[in-house]
Structure 1
């Protein structure tokens, strides 16, 4: 069996790690491209980290669990299983790290665990195309956050 390598993507954001972490976790519903990349597509109303899971909801109350948090260490790391639209036993693993660098925070996303997919190489290729869009939207939200007031309170445990 051939091992399919993880997808690894990075984005540099002009914010402290605590802010970058908060925007990624508490703010995911503001920047995730739900219309393009969600279980419910145009019906999707929100997505968020809720009680240790990532949940997408429609306006009519339908829910889809995207994954379960496996590591929560603000402001340095968040990790979760990843199975939007699939059963939990067909899940990849996503780890996002937030490292202080000159000028901001280097956010590194690593997506692995392709072995659980029917076609691991095809699944990897799909996400390799999708993560840049997601991280681009995330980076845009961090930049927008710099010009508007921050919500009060630290990132909370899911």
Structure 2
């Protein structure tokens, strides 16, 4: 896995031992199987993460006490090669309601052979978060590990 930090974006990539369609499905539909359990906005027991598989959908955390936290909007959904979602999280790690101050995460999937897929994740437009945005860039640069995803995607 490599991670590159540009001025206003962070890119990480990994090759996974899975066919293209499966790699895409685990990243989206199976997001709760690999997402770091400590990386959620609300306190409490998380019961599931839901990735709505269509443009206009959302990524929503569901908690045992019935609360829901919709922290992302699906901006592009092109199975099995590309997905883009918003990062509706502010510099205080709370929901951002001003959508002009949100960044985007693009994930591209490329088949290397029938059983291996190259995955490139780019978290871009981090400067949209406003004053102090480099702290978000630095945080996501260290937080976007795809190692758990690579484990979860194994058939």
TM-score range, shorter chain: 0.7 to 0.9
Query: What does residue range 129-144 of structure 1 map to in structure 2 within 5 Å?
Result: 129-132=142-145, 135-143=146-154
Q: Hey, what's the Cα distance between the residues in 2 that align with 1:62 and 1:42?
A: 9
Q: Which residue of 1 aligns with 2:36?
A: 33
Q: Hey, what's the Cα distance between the residues in 2 that align with 1:61 and 1:4?
A: 39
Q: Which residue of 2 aligns with 1:23?
A: 26
Which segments of structure 1 move beyond 4 Å, counting only runs of 4 or more? none
Distance 1:41 1:105, change over 3 A: farther
TM-score, with length taken from structure 2? 0.83
Alignment partner of 1:60 is 2:65:
yes
Q: Which residue of 2 aligns with 1:86?
A: 95
Gaps of 5+ in 1: 147-158
8 A Cα contact 1:78 1:95, kept in partner: yes
Q: Hey, what's the Cα distance between the residues in 1 that align with 2:81 and 2:68?
A: 29
Question: What is the CA-CA distance between 1:61 and the residue it aligns to?
Answer: 1.2
Q: Which moves more between the two structures, 22-31 or 98-107? A: 98-107
TM-score, with length taken from structure 1? 0.81
Q: Which residue of 1 aligns with 2:134?
A: 121
8 A Cα contact 2:8 2:127, kept in partner: no
The number of residue pairs the alignment matches comes to: 139
8 A Cα contact 2:28 2:51, kept in partner: yes
Q: Hey, what's the Cα distance between the residues in 1 that align with 2:14 and 2:44?
A: 27
Q: Which moves more between the two structures, 21-30 or 47-56? A: 47-56
